[in-house]
Structures are given as structure tokens and as C-alpha cells.
Amino acid sequence: MLIIGLTGGIGSGKTTVSRYFEKLGVPVIDADQLTRELVTPEQPALKEIVEQLGADLLTADGELDRPQLRKLIFAHPEQRQRLEAILHPRAREAALQQLTALRESTYPPAYVILSVPLLIESGWTDLVHRVLVVDTSLAQQQQRASQRDGLNSAHINSVIRSQIDRDARLAAADDIIHNDTDLPALQAQVTTLHQQYQQLAHPR
């Protein structure tokens, strides 16, 4: 089973690309989704976050206060490292379990997408056969992240600085999707790669 590691900077369009692959019937394992599941109430990871980063990160309902967490790691970048140390090993293990389940299923897929924002930075490249980077300009990143998450430019730039720089990310890529025009063009690139990945998974 071919494993494609999908990555890209904040606001690059990874989620949209993942959805296009899903529409083509390709399983997508999303590290962000795995992380969200890890911090639901009663999960050990949430308990550890509260113990290490503060009880004020919980809402009245006992859920993770994401806006408050964003403020914390923006104001104190060292806290981001503590957060990642809690979440990344657990998310990796959850991803491995899903990959194993797909591989051992009755009809394993030809290939699977493993979407990880920090694929390269976190060392997850050892889990994949190819790295697919969704690339766009810095201006596009800032605009999309602002529209999507309502973040100000200082916060967006802080996230960008915490990620691997664009040139290094592109240098690590086996395949690149250029997300700088419109959605039909983006979808067409996904369709082309889908055909290539099927051929790589099942060479004739």
C-alpha cells in the first residue's frame, strides 16, 4: 500500500486537496483530526495539557479552549514545544494504527493520503513513500489563514515562522501541487496525481 505524505504551510490548501482525494475514493488520515480527537474530555492528552500548561485552558464544559491555547503558544513559543511533545507521539501512534488497519483490511486501497502539517518538521517522513507538498505564496497563506481562522497577521506570521521554510519544504517534495489559481485547477492537479499514484501502486 503506497503512503503519500501530504503537507504544506498554514493556509496552503491542504484540507481542500484532501477533500478532492477523498472524492476520488482515496482514504485520508488527517493528523489534525487525530489531534482533535486526542484532546476531547476524559482523554489522557487533555489531562496532561492542563497539568503542564494550565487549568485556564479548559472551558466551563471541560473542553479544550482552543482560542485560549492559541493565545498561550503565541505569547510563549516554548509552550508550543511542550504541547507538541504531548500530542505528536500520540497522534503518530493513532496514525500508525489506522495505516495498519487499512493495510490489513480485506480490500486494502492502492494508496492512502497521510495529511500532516508538520510532516517534515516532526520526522514523520519515515512513515511515507512519497512527500506531496501543497504550495502557495506567502501572501496567499496570510489571506487564507486570516479568512479561515480569523487570525491576525502577527499570529499567522508566528505560525509560519514555526514551520519549515518554503524552500526547504519544496526541496523535500517528491510531488508539488501549486495552489495559486482557482479550485478547478487545483482539482485537476489532484486528478492527475491520483492517476500517477495508482500506477505507482500497481505498475503494469
Q: What does the pLDDT read at residue 53? A: 92
CATH of domain 2-201: 3.40.50.300
Name the E strands within 24-137.
28-30, 111-115, 130-135
Q: What does the pLDDT read at residue 150? A: 73
The CB density around residue 16, as the number of other CB atoms within 10 Å, is: 16
pLDDT, averaged per 10 consecutive residues of the chain (204 residues), comes to: 95 94 98 94 93 91 89 84 93 97 95 96 94 92 79 79 89 96 95 97 78
Query: 3-state DSSP call for residue 199?
Result: helix
Question: What is the Cα–Cα distance from 136 to 148, expressed in whole angstroms?
Answer: 16
Q: What does the pLDDT read at residue 76? A: 84
Q: What does the pLDDT read at residue 204? A: 60
Query: How many CA within 13 A on the CB side of residue 45?
Result: 20
Show me where the domains of the chain are located: 2-201
Q: What does the pLDDT read at residue 107? A: 93
Q: What does the pLDDT read at residue 21? A: 98
This prediction's pTM: 0.91
Largest CA distance in the chain: 58
Q: Name 110's Cβ contacts closer than 8 Å, sequence gap at least 6.
A: 1, 2, 197, 198, 201, 202
For residue 43 the three cell numbers come to: 482523554
